[in-house]
Amino acid sequence: MDFLKSTIASIAAKTNSAFPYSIGERIEYQNDTIWTVYHGTRRTDNTACTIFEFNIVENRTRVPLARNASKKLRTLMFPGVIKVLDTYETENDIYVVTENVTPLDVAIQNRKLMNNESIRWGLHTIALTLRFINVDASSIHGNIRMSSIFITDSGEWKLSGFDLLTSTKDEDPIIYTFGGLVPDSGKYASPEIGKGGWEILRKQPHHLLDSWQYGALIFEIFNGKFTSSDQLQSSMRKQIPPDLFGPFKKLVQTTPRSRASIKQFIDVGRDDSKATPGGGFFRSDMIMLSENIENLSVQSEYEREAFVKEFQRVKDKFPPSYLRLRVLPELVKCFEFGGGGPRILSVMLDISQHMSPEEFQVAVAPTILKMFGVPDRAIRIALLEALPKFIDSMTNKMVNDKLFPDLLTGFVDAAPAVREQTVKAVLVLMPKLSDRNINNDLLRHLAKTQNDEQPGIRTNTTICLGKIAHSLGPNTRSRVLTAAFTRSLRDPFVHGRNAALMALAVTVDIFSADDCASKLLPAICPLLIDKEKIVRTQAHKTVDVYMGKVNAHAASMPDLNSTQPLNSAPASLAGTPKPADGSDGNGPEGSWAGWAINGFTKRMGVDDGVEINHGVPSPSAERVSTDSSLSSTLAANRLPAINLSPASSVTRPSSATSSIGFGSTAVAKSFEPIEDNDDFAWGGFDDDADTTAHTVKPANTEEDDWASFDEPVRSVSVPAKSVATKVTTTTIRNDAATKRPTTSTKTTTVNRTTASATATKSLAPTGKSHSIAAHKNRKKKESMFADTEAADDDGWGDGW
């Protein structure tokens, strides 16, 4: 029957366009009132509400009570009074629409949420409301019971049941005439009314009835329902807390003169002095903090600090809904306008952990995004440290469009603490950032912090790059990370080098085998003999990882060498004599040496009087022209010109090696000069190279700039410039008198063209000059990170 009535009422409300609310399911509770309560929603925005309905047709005698309640609820404004959204009256019904509430007797059944602390807090709220009605409004409520008290979504207790609310100044007070029409009025009436009727209230202080009914409410909350007023004096009342029991007895005195007023009850509850028996029951943490929360924005800094400290200690005693809906808005307002500072932010975020992302985006996110733009370093550091607590509740659009642009200013902040926290925050932001923000603005600023004057910031930047490596764009990450990590390998800060090694070890899958062999391993290997043990240890581990990848790749490569075995000489050299030392040249060392020397002699077109036919005529008459041609060829290849006499023999590998210099490191490097690789020109990285080698290194044309990875590689044309270089020429000729070969050496000047004047180097001197040059190179490398403003010409950000 109730369901049918609810359905009919809902249909009637929907058909009436003037009533902008939808009536939902009926709320079942201890309904000893004239109202039927329903769940409802506002049609415009689907806001939840509660609808009180009074049926005029079925309760015509009680219509004055319903109309009085509707009128008083609209006019009486107090925090402890239930909030009215709208009232509406038709020919058949009277509707009162309020905020979404739950009846007290329904909520109190959940003892986990409704503990003694919460009950004290609620009783305190109702007592303050009754004091306002009795003292400030000079009125009598007259209908205090559990069915008149409701709990909001925030957990606060609100007073309703204003059917008999009467002002002593009214011409025709309704309570004197219609007091007996309220359901169960005799059960909650004070003893004097039971004897003399409701008219007796005209001759008594107007607080007496409300004091008695408030005492009955305390009894009913702790002991359950009662049937008559005699039970209020029974032993069942001992279930009331001891500190509350004494003041409770003052409220339920049968003699009106001995009965305490609500105001006196509150004063005793707040007095914690030993002179007042049973006092202090209203001095709980919840009550004290709930009163201060409303004045938080106007409190001094000292008072605010004390409040936050105390609130963090007892916040778990409050209902989560109260923290979320009542405390949090006050904290947000204080943080934004009252200068609450980092401590208020910490409490805000702790409370917001219980909120859904949608609620957070409405209640907290706008203030946080606004505070990121405030030039307060303490606030910025607090926001960055707390970023993991709220980043998941923000949408990607909020992060990319609003938060990230303000966060970028932290990379260039003058305070090192802000820069460091900004670098650490990158890891938290990565899942929310767009590819454009990652591969453009973010990398450009990380390039600056990796060159920071603070070693800790440089180290953290390297760690950050290692962790976000797989989130970078596949077309750029290899080049960016190669430049960044190899640069960190030269950091004078031990932990910076160690971080680079560890980052390289965990990102090995990003680099190709060619990069591992040609760029990364040469940069890692010097750290195998680093002066710090932790660096050496990590360097060995990293080298093992990269060597494993290089070896695996080499094993999978096809064999493009000749099918002829390496331990056998080619057919063209079948007539070559054995070495002078008697070895057959087929051993591992003899075979290799024979191949190298014989092949080189073959290429030179030289024989020692032995008829070796390689398809090229070698008469004695043509040796002069051959030597001249060979000298020209070697000069063009930047090698010393060598004139060979007939006395030269390939049967002496040791002397041939010494004369030709094939085994010399200097001559070998002259044959294969270091190429100018754009991705491996690090300025100062090759400072430790062997300065005794007679090698002319190419110019290092690329800056150490991994932030400019997205620019196309441009070829730079450098005007050719002729440079005079001294070349030592060794000539072997026959002495006319002894007919034995003699050797003479002379120094000539050869003009040759280089790619750049700055890249041309003269042959390394010996002795003291070489030591001075090596010392300068070492000094230059050690000061690479000492003064980044003056010495670092990399200009990482200039590439953008």
pLDDT in tens, 597-608: 333 334 444 444
37, 100 contact by CB (below 8 A) = no
Residue type, position 745, single letter: T
Q: What pLDDT was estimated at residue 16?
A: 53
Buried b / exposed e over 693-713, threshold 16 CB at 10 Å, is bbbbebbbbbbbbbbbbbeee
Beta-sheet pairing, 84-89 with 48-55: unpaired
What distance in Å separates the CA atoms of residue 273 and residue 270, rounded to the nearest whole number? 9
Q: What distance in Å separates the CA atoms of residue 311 and residue 359, rounded to the nearest whole number? A: 22
Q: Calculate the CA 152 to chain-centre distance.
A: 36
Calculate ∠ Cα 468-677-775, nearest 5°.
95
Residue-level pLDDT at 561: 63
* CA-to-CA separations, 620 to 646, 647, 787, in angstroms, rounded: 8, 12, 66
Provide the pLDDT for residue 67: 94
Low-confidence ranges of the chain (pLDDT < 50): 1, 3-4, 7-8, 11, 13-15, 564, 566, 568-705, 707-800
What pLDDT does residue 235 have? Answer: 60
Cα–Cα distance, 775 to 691 (Å, whole number): 11
Q: Which H/E stretch holds residue 578?
A: none
- 463 phi, psi to nearest 5 deg: -60, -45
Contact 387, 429 (CB under 8 A): yes
Tokens, residue 261:
């007023």
Beta strands 721-734; 642-643: pairing state:
parallel
